Structure 1
Amino acid sequence: MFSGCAAEADHRPRFASLAAAAVAVPLLLTGCNAEKDLDLSSTYVEQTEPADTLYNQGLANLNAGRMKEAVAKFEAVDQQHPYSEFARKALLMHTFANYRQGNYSEAIGSGERYVSLYPTSEDAAYAQYLVGLANFRQIREVTQDQRESRRTIEAMEQVVQRWPDSEYVPDAQAKIRYARDQLAGKEMQVGRYYLERREYIAAIKRFRGVVEDYSDTRHVEEALARLTEAYYAMGIVSEAQTAAAVLGHNFPESDWYKDAYALLQSGGLEPRENSGSWLSRAASAITGS
């Protein structure tokens, strides 16, 4: 059986700092005189370093390739000197260091925080660009989920729309094109799956989505050819002819057009555009020849 004082000693909390210990020790002495010789030598005192010192140490680590140490220093600036000018700069470098280290989720989080806190800063465009790059680096094969492609487009469109004169716009636009191509490729993969299973309505929906939403990607040629194939298989001849006609008008030298043309000829038909078709209306957006 423990005495009251012994029980109190056994359950005494470990103090995180000297300041906390200084407040708590008198209370313990009052409750139990046996604690009057309490040893405080093991308590930890957190040292606060100047903001510029921490920031420069972070830059030195960054330049030396010690990304983990750089991140720690930039975080220390933010924690010990919040709302300071060095905290602002450290947050940007924290984003960059995490990106270079491959910590993409952390880079996205701190980059978005920077833009939220400092939207008018001269470095806001770069922070948003880093968010886009961190998403871009995570884009998966077209056979897998494409949520990172969508997030890349969202992030890079912010760069283009909010900072149109930024030096990062050209590359942001290139990354958007790539991500859109990935999304179109995913739609094509699913569409081909349905076409092989002769689920023509589901296949047409996917191919139509590529023509209407991703007409500026390299997948539009195949999408038009597949539409020719799917409509022809369903006996919807007019739409099959229109798909082939739009394909031939925009990509006359394409192998996909040759295949679509041969398919129609096998049934005694030829490409012919129906001006009332959705394909005819969508044709104006296609970036072919």
Structure 2
Amino acid sequence: MAHIFKFLILLLLFSCSANEKVITITQEDDKNIFKKGIQLIEEKKFKESIDQFIKINDEFPYSKYSSQAQIYNAYLNFELNKPDKTILLLTDYMSMNPNGIFTEYAEYLIAMCYYIKVSDPSRDSKFTKIAIEKFKKIIKSNPDSKYAKDAKFKLEYLNNYLARKEFEVGMYYLKNNAPSPAINRFSIVIRDYQGSSIIPQTLYRMYEAFEMLKLEDKSDQTYLILKYNFPKSKWTKEITSRKKIIIEEPGYLKNIMNKMISIF
């Protein structure tokens, strides 16, 4: 067997005769592939760039550029409006690098993937709630980071988004002469989305709903809460121009504020 093996080696060596050209295959190194991927990003050739970063992870899985290539791959998929693919890539990255230097960015980009899903009306509102949870986690983990700062702005938008959705359902009931279910929806807005920009109008519409039910005590209380919290709001002025409520006792408003829970 040893002789057969030696013969095979000699055969392979002499198969390339002096008259034949020897083809030399030069393999690109990881650094050059990475640089090429970056160059393609600058040229806005995202799909071609992704191919380079995939090549790094396929051919050089232990390269020092491997983690960066994974992150760039995910980022480029995000830029190509592929949030589901981006989430999958980043989840894989974090499972292999739970304490990696890009983990914080990966968590932020995952949150952004759910955030961009919110604008698609065909998607379930569960994505909005997931995005909120992700942004809250970022803020809690590192409140002073640049990602946390942006997460706060995104949270404000998402809270306003959810509040408005509840408000619109309430308005649907109100316009269809169903004040009781309208009040229930408006109550959710006030209870769950305090600080939302829709709160003044929600209180105004709740006032209207109580008026429709001829519950003057409730409508008066709602008006006073609106006036106390948003004295310069156009919704406050709208009611004030239509109706003058006389407060008989100095402590009346305080008592009304204490009864907020009974209304909402």
**Closer, same or farther: CA 117–245 of 1 in aligned 2, 3 Å:** farther
Aligned residue number for residue 123 of structure 1: 102
Question: RMSD in angstroms over aligned alpha carbons?
Answer: 2.9
**Closer, same or farther: CA 240–84 of 1 in aligned 2, 3 Å:** farther
* Identity percentage of aligned residues: 24
**Contact 1:75 / 1:90 at 8 angstroms: preserved in 2?**
yes
Q: Does 1:278 align with 2:260?
A: yes
* 1:186-201 paired onto structure 2 within 5 Å: 186-201=165-180
Aligned residue number for residue 235 of structure 1: 214
Aligned residue number for residue 38 of structure 2: 59
User: Within 2, Cα distance between the matches of 1:164 and 1:116?
Assistant: 23
Deviation of 1:66 (Å): 0.8
Deviation of 1:63 (Å): 1.9
**Contact 1:99 / 1:107 at 8 angstroms: preserved in 2?**
yes
Matched position secondary structure for 1:57? helix
Partner letter of residue 194 of structure 1? Y
Q: Structure 2: any 5+ residue segments left out of the alignment?
A: 1-25
Name which of structure 1's ranges 167-176 and 112-121 shifts more when overlaid on structure 2: 112-121
Deviation of 1:147 (Å): 4.0
* 1:132-143 paired onto structure 2 within 5 Å: 132-140=111-119
Matched position secondary structure for 2:118? coil
**Closer, same or farther: CA 51–141 of 1 in aligned 2, 3 Å:** closer
**Closer, same or farther: CA 144–85 of 1 in aligned 2, 3 Å:** closer
Q: Does 1:246 align with 2:225?
A: yes
Aligned residue number for residue 27 of structure 1: none
Deviation of 1:54 (Å): 3.2
Q: Does 1:207 align with 2:186?
A: yes
User: Within 2, Cα distance between the matches of 1:210 and 1:228?
Assistant: 14
TM-score by length of 1: 0.70
Which of 196, 201, 210 aligns to 1:222? It is 201
**Contact 1:181 / 1:214 at 8 angstroms: preserved in 2?**
yes
User: Within 2, Cα distance between the matches of 1:232 and 1:85?
Assistant: 69
**Closer, same or farther: CA 51–144 of 1 in aligned 2, 3 Å:** closer
User: Within 2, Cα distance between the matches of 1:141 and 1:244?
Assistant: 36
**Closer, same or farther: CA 116–245 of 1 in aligned 2, 3 Å:** farther
Deviation of 1:59 (Å): 1.8
Name which of structure 1's ranges 162-171 and 76-85 shifts more when overlaid on structure 2: 76-85
Matched position secondary structure for 1:168? helix
Deviation of 1:121 (Å): 2.2
Aligned residue number for residue 110 of structure 1: 89
Aligned residue number for residue 128 of structure 2: 149
Matched position secondary structure for 2:119? coil
Deviations 1:244-272 (A, max 9, x none): 1111011112121123345655xxx5586
User: Within 2, Cα distance between the matches of 1:198 and 1:141?
Assistant: 30
Which of 85, 88, 109 aligns to 2:67? It is 88
**Closer, same or farther: CA 258–158 of 1 in aligned 2, 3 Å:** same
User: Within 2, Cα distance between the matches of 1:83 and 1:239?
Assistant: 68
**Contact 2:143 / 2:149 at 8 angstroms: preserved in 1?**
no
Name which of structure 1's ranges 254-263 and 91-100 shifts more when overlaid on structure 2: 254-263
User: Within 2, Cα distance between the matches of 1:169 and 1:162?
Assistant: 9
Aligned residue number for residue 99 of structure 1: 78
Corresponding pairs, count = 233
Deviations 1:16-36 (A, max 9, x none): xxxxxxxxxxxxxxxxxxxxx
Aligned residue number for residue 5 of structure 2: none
Deviation of 1:185 (Å): 1.0
**Closer, same or farther: CA 139–275 of 1 in aligned 2, 3 Å:** closer
**Contact 1:58 / 1:70 at 8 angstroms: preserved in 2?**
yes
Partner letter of residue 181 of structure 2? A
Deviations 1:177-233 (A, max 9, x none): 111111111111111001111222221121111111111111000111111111222
**Closer, same or farther: CA 106–48 of 1 in aligned 2, 3 Å:** farther
